[in-house]
Amino acid sequence: MKTGLHAGTLRTTLDTTLDLRSITSVDLGGGEPTSHVHGELRSFSLEFASQALIVRFARLAFVSRPGTSPTLDLRITDVEFGGDLRFLNALRRYLPSPPNGARVTARDGCIEAGYTLAIPTLSTGVFLLQNLALSASVTLPLDGRPVRARFAVSARDDPFLVTVSLFGGGGFVALEVESDQVVGFEAQLEFGAATALNLGVASASVAVTAGVYIRLIDGKAELRGFFRAVGELDVLGLVNVSVELYLWLGFRDGPAGPEAHGGATLTIRVRVLFFAESVTLTIERSFGTGSDPTFDKAFPTPEPWRQRCAAFAPMVAP
Amino acid sequence: MTTQTVVWTLLPDPAAAPATAGMTRLILLASPRLTHDDVVPLSRYPALVDWPNMPLQIAVEITGSSGTITVPAELIGDPPDASVWRAVFPPELPVVPFVFDRTPAETRILSYPAEPLRASLAAEYSRLFRPTDVPLPVDDDPSTRSEAEWAAVDRLIRVVGDGARERSISDTQVGLDAAPDDLAEDPAGWSRLADFHRPRRSRDPRMTPGLSSREGPAERDFHAVLAALADHPQLQARLGLVRELRVQLPPGLAGPVTIRAVPTHGAGLSDYRPRIRCVAGAGQLRLATADGTEASLYLPLDDISRYAAIDVDIDSAGLALQSYVSALALAPRDRLAPRPQPPALRSDGIFVAEADRQISFKAALRRAADVLDADLAAGGDGSTIVLDADDVQQGYRVDVLDVDSGRWYPLCRRIGSYRVAGIDQPLPIDDEGTVCDVLAASEEDGAPAYLLHQSLFRWNGWSLVVPPPGLMLDLDDQTADPVPEPDRDLPFTMTVTVAPGTLPSLRFGRRYRFRARLVNIAGRSLPFTPDPADPTPATPALRHSRYEPVPSPVLVPRRPVTEGESATVLVVRTDNSDPADPRPGPSCERHLLAPKAAVLTLERHGVLDVPGENRLDPDVYALLFEHDQGVVAGSPDASANDTPFIDADTVALPWLPDPLAHGIAIHGLPGSPDLNLDWPRGDAWHQRLPIRLIVQPGGGAGPAPPVVDTTGREARVTLEPGATVTMTLSSRLREGDEETLGTWRWFASQDDQAATEVTARRDDALAGRIGHLTPPYEVRMIHAVRCPHKPPVLSVPRIDRLPGDPAYTLVDPAISIHPDSTVSVHVEAEWSDVVDDPTLPERLRLRSRYWWIDGASRTGVSGSAGGSGMRKMVSNLPKFTSVDKRSSVPSLRRTKRPDPAKLAPLHNEVLYVIQRAVTELDTDAVQRRRAKIDRHAVSVRGPIRALPPAGGLARAAHSHSVSHSETRQAPSASQQTGPDLHKRPSG
């Protein structure tokens, strides 16, 4: 077989083999003629959206035998995410086809091979993703429509849970590719955290809320994000300002893999510029590495929790 | 040339208690501006080296309608502390010459209208508020329905936009300082929201984090430290930058006046003394607005046309919805419209937004640059400048009224201490911090721009001015103490905490009002009072709602998954290859667990509170410590990529459940469309015991309702042979919970909402059918059999052919099959027909076989009419692969594929169409067979290994198979061994 990239999607190597057989048998003694069709492609990969998604297959086989419906056997060995989707690589271990193979169904003139997994926890750096529902499927229509592959982690309306310390958030991924192009892609991750912000020599601690939204625009994955920090920005114990500030947010390569990265150059107390110079801060923050703190990590001793509780007034009707 | 300018601003003191008549308290703020050709140490500015010891005398010049008088003022309060001054402003401190930064005044400010966007969001979510599984009426015309659904999709795309291709808004703003909220081309602000959050680079792409007072080398210079002091009014007073004065007003002074400081100091300062607009009356001076009327000391938050308290995270919601709209825009138009599935929303405290904030903010910046600073720069002494209330305001101190407890609580109170370099004793702090403004530098079309959010302040349950206790994530994402060791080199450091017992608690379902006390440039505001009787401008009461949906239950397999099974596909099997002795396989089970909630969600729901006090209980520490880290811990299932299974009758809930997840709601079970179960409860709120869902193979006795055992911990579902049931599973609310959920309140409070509609949707909500509130997921349950549960039975089949018609038609008005386990029925028929050809010695016998029943056509619901696999089928009747592909059988050549749609209306009639038969001569037994065909003796062959009845002239052999359908076979990657349809009947 010719090796290389075909139709922008199919990557073949020297190991790739294609086996196509069609056998029709006629029983000269008056028996039933039968027809077998067998097609099998081994050791190849599909690449979508400039290698944003690479799916490596051990085997893709289509078998049609008399007396049975046609079947599709699919063995995925590896799925790799690139570009803005790199953060999904934490899911890689769940993406190869399970040993039992995928569930094969035939309906609406299509054969579909797929499976679902319930993943209790997934640690992606500082984020602890919990209770994820992963599903993957490939649909082979029998009527000439393009092949479709769909991959989803939880759902837009039913996101998985993201926790960082006390804070909750959510996320989901939905990816749909059709023959040679990505036709639908949405990924979202929202989280909160009590965290330090990097101010160069100083760091300040605030409560942040952030969201990353990746979708498909004109065939390319596009990222939007917001990163909001609320509370008291304590810079070196010197500048204390209470603000709500917004940083831009994106993904970038960090030392230990992809990380969410935000920043801003902020000018504080501009309104009273006539009376005092305003304070300009350049802030940045990356999230990626590190361990995900659960409550026991954020409050290893009861004292800070007691302090937190003690701050509140009883709210009792007189 | 060295200049030492001081701007002296004299202000009425809003914090002072009313003194005796005619004696008023004023505050004097000194704002030094030092300039020189170069960076020099502070010692080069002699007046500032020992500022506290400067012999300062102040008089007050009062100008009213009757002229100007000057009255002496008495400096009161503690005298400034020279040692603190020298510690904070040592003589060697570099002084970078003061330059008024005109950039903010001359740069565009981008914002987006918050409240219109929230209203649009509420309207769109309300429009989409409907049950996830509304059965469509059977007679509903799919084409009209589809049109209406596409119209709804188009509408959403039009309103919300995907935020990617709409840059026209910013084009219309070119040249504007700031665009007003009300823009005809972007009425709800969706385009501006997208633009606001568009990824931008800072002006410096390399972006070195740091603190600087300006573009320049010095990180810490005189003016930067001075600026940093703005949030430290106590320290300002100690340094002598803020002084308290007492003034005896002339008797009878009333009406609009201006006041102005007259300092005497003997130092070589150049004094700039603007006038301050006030109103005199009752022996007091009060700050006035530009029009001369008394200024409020509160932000007018009661003006609902300008201010709105909002508790949904509109940034998150807006971006998520636009992302969804981008996906909708890609949906193929030749298919049915996708089912609406808008993104889950989220809450992030409550914020107060100001309409057109960017406009008023910009005006203030312009005025500071073009009027105030221009006058100073031109050498004025301030006599022509009149400052009003707006000019001297630097921020807010925010209070919350909890409506039910009926008092105000402060959000900006702080206590702690300052440590000043060179001073041994820490200086105590007991004051209030200030919420102030921030602009984020950005660019727009290559030109610099600032981003300004309309949110004035946001209360997320904690103090606005103190960092929360507990460890936070440091820059390496490791947990660390939030209070770093203070740098001893700093002139001063501050350590503050919340004053104990002062903060209000943010809880879902409670009603809150907000007020904002204005803080002037001297750091003074009205003092806090808890008394609600004191009427103050505040936002209307907002009932705090939760916008996050209640997640669906968590599902854990009991055993390793079998072939074709996966987390949400439950498979049981019966081996019925011997119909006389069907062998049912084992059950398939899942543990269902109440979904986990983050600690803050629990806190907002009040489940962690001291009973009756609505505040956090320190004793919940142990509970949180133990449970927040809990995860499903089972054995890894190698056949499911090591996801866990737990082989036990019961499991414990490892985490703290979402307080609103009271139970599970299952729809679509056989024999009982809705099954609603409450989690079996323990004594404590969080004890919600998992339920085990058991699916077991049934014997074909007919659909039976699910059985729930007496403990409520087991739900048993029996599946008919061959049955495939798709059910949806969601969490279940308790009556009244819906009122806590924001999307419900949006829907129920829409202006044009009919009461009957609200009632109907409330029922749906409580039954777990509204995806906005309790999103469902699909679970498939399959009872796989090897052969059809019952053989097909033909009633009165006949073979017809019209004269001249090249096709024969086999018609049976009422075939009976077991639909769940029968995919297709294959018919073999033989019949004779007369060939009108005298050259032939005998009659021609036709013999042929044909297999194909489209089961879907039998029911009138075909897969394609129901919607391309994207929509759940209404009927449980099976869908069949419509056409057998094996058309290469030589004895039968199909010239045309029958159109299943045309067969659809026949319902109980099965149509067999033979397009063309190949003829062959029969030299024997024609007469015998012909006799039989005349009697329409068509027989049916039963289970595949059973012998057919005695042969007839015309024989229809019906064999059937389970191997074609995903829904009735054990789903498998490998081929099932189905019966060989081509085996000739042995009879």
Instruction: Find the mean pLDDT for residues B675-695.
Output: 93
**Chain A residue with the nearest C-alpha to that of B985:** A31
Which residue did the predictor score with more confidence, B569 or B701?
B569
Where do we find the tokens 């690589």? A89
Q: Is the pLDDT of residue B165 over 70?
A: no
Element (H, E) at B150: helix B142-160
Q: Is the pLDDT of residue B557 over 90?
A: yes
Asked if A146 reaches chain B (Cβ–Cβ under 8 Å), the answer is: no
**Contacts A281 to B, Cβ<8 Å:** 210-211
**Chain A residue with the nearest C-alpha to that of B850:** A32
What is the average pLDDT value for chain B, to the nearest integer? Answer: 78
**Contacts A190 to B, Cβ<8 Å:** 316, 320, 346
Can you give the pLDDT at residue B800? Answer: 65
C-alpha A33/C-alpha A161 separation (Å) is 56
**Contacts A316 to B, Cβ<8 Å:** 405, 612-614
Can you give the pLDDT at residue B955? Answer: 27
Can you give the pLDDT at residue B455? Answer: 95
Of B690, B508, B682, B689, which is closest to residue B602 (Cα–Cα)? B508
Q: Are B346 and A169 in contact (CB under 8 A)?
A: yes
The CA radius of gyration of chain A, in Å to the nearest whole number, is: 26
Can you give the pLDDT at residue B591? Answer: 96
Of B605, B548, B604, B550, which is closest to residue B313 (Cα–Cα)? B548
Of the partner residues B453, B470, B888, the one whose CB lies closest to the CB of residue A305: B470
Can you give the pLDDT at residue B460? Answer: 92
Lowest-pLDDT range, A186-195, A196-205, B578-587, B714-723? A196-205
**Contacts B98 to A, Cβ<8 Å:** 277
Instruction: Find the mean pLDDT for residues A156-175.
Output: 89
Cα B460 from chain centroid (whole Å): 16
Burial (CB < 10 A; 0-12, 13-18, 19+), residue A24, is middle
Can you give the pLDDT at residue B484? Answer: 59
**What is the percent of chain B where pLDDT is above 70?**
75
**Contacts A243 to B, Cβ<8 Å:** 435-438
Q: Tokens in use for A11?
A: 């990557």
Does the distance separating the beta carbons of B888 and A235 come in below 8 Å? no
Can you give the pLDDT at residue B27? Answer: 94
**Contacts A142 to B, Cβ<8 Å:** 885
Does the distance separating the beta carbons of B495 and A237 come in below 8 Å? yes
**Contacts A278 to B, Cβ<8 Å:** 101, 104, 227
Q: What's the pLDDT tens digit per position in B169-202?
A: 555 555 667 889 998 888 999 999 988 888 765 4
**Contacts B332 to A, Cβ<8 Å:** 183
Q: What's the pLDDT tens digit per position in B504-550?
A: 999 999 999 999 999 999 999 999 999 888 788 999 999 999 999 99
C-alpha A184/C-alpha B561 separation (Å) is 30
Does the distance separating the beta carbons of B555 and A308 come in below 8 Å? no
In the 8-state DSSP scheme, what is residue B770?
Answer: B
Does the distance separating the beta carbons of B562 and A244 come in below 8 Å? no
**Contacts B197 to A, Cβ<8 Å:** 224-226, 248
A vs B, Cβ pairs < 8 A, gives 629
Measured in angstroms, the CA of A285 and the nearest CA of chain B are apart by: 7
Q: Is the pLDDT of residue B958 over 50?
A: no
- ipTM confidence: 0.89
C-alpha B298/C-alpha B412 separation (Å) is 15
Lowest-pLDDT range, A97-111, B217-231, B499-513, B920-934? B920-934
Asked if A17 reaches chain B (Cβ–Cβ under 8 Å), the answer is: no
Select the residue from A173, A245, A295, A296 to test the B interface by mutation, using most B Cβ atoms within 10 A: A295
Interface subset of A 189-218, CB within 8 angstroms of B: 190, 192-196, 198-203, 205-207, 209, 211, 213-218
Asked if A74 reaches chain B (Cβ–Cβ under 8 Å), the answer is: yes
**Contacts A296 to B, Cβ<8 Å:** 624-626, 628-629
Can you give the pLDDT at residue B652? Answer: 94
The three state secondary structure string of A191-214 is EEEEEEEEECCEEEEEEEEEEEEE
Q: What's the pLDDT tens digit per position in B454-477?
A: 999 999 999 998 888 877 777 777
Can you give the pLDDT at residue B984? Answer: 32
Measured in angstroms, the CA of B426 and the nearest CA of chain A are apart by: 14
Does the distance separating the beta carbons of A103 and B599 come in below 8 Å? no
**Chain B residue with the nearest C-alpha to that of A309:** B616
**Contacts B642 to A, Cβ<8 Å:** 93
Instruction: Find the mean pLDDT for residues B322-333.
Output: 86
**Chain A residue with the nearest C-alpha to that of B521:** A272
Q: Tokens in use for B986?
A: 């042995």
Q: Are B240 and B52 in contact (CB under 8 A)?
A: yes
Asked if A105 reaches chain B (Cβ–Cβ under 8 Å), the answer is: yes
Q: Are B7 and B221 in contact (CB under 8 A)?
A: no
Q: CB atoms < 10 A from the CB of B68, how many?
A: 11
Does the distance separating the beta carbons of B600 and A71 come in below 8 Å? no
**Contacts B434 to A, Cβ<8 Å:** 242
Select the residue from B198, B473, B787, B875 to test the A interface by mutation, using most A Cβ atoms within 10 A: B473
**Chain A residue with the nearest C-alpha to that of B477:** A290
pTM of the model: 0.83
Element (H, E) at B473: strand B472-473
Of A198, A237, A313, which is closest to residue B467 (Cα–Cα)? A237
Does the distance separating the beta carbons of B451 and A269 come in below 8 Å? no
C-alpha B211/C-alpha A236 separation (Å) is 10
Which residue did the predictor score with more confidence, B479 or A314?
A314
Asked if A33 reaches chain B (Cβ–Cβ under 8 Å), the answer is: yes
Q: Is the pLDDT of residue B952 over 60?
A: no
Q: Which residues of B461-476 are buried (b: 16+ CB within 10 A; e: fewer)?
A: bbbbbbbbbbbbbbbe
Of A99, A98, A104, which is closest to residue A118 (Cα–Cα)? A98
Can you give the pLDDT at residue B597? Answer: 94
Can you give the pLDDT at residue A271? Answer: 84
Q: Is the pLDDT of residue B785 over 90?
A: no
Which residue did the predictor score with more confidence, B134 or A299?
A299
- pLDDT tier, A276 (very low <50, low <70, confident <90, very high otherwise): confident
Can you give the pLDDT at residue A8? Answer: 67
**Chain B residue with the nearest C-alpha to that of A182:** B330
Asked if A137 reaches chain B (Cβ–Cβ under 8 Å), the answer is: no
Select the residue from B8, B31, B93, B211 to test the A interface by mutation, using most A Cβ atoms within 10 A: B211
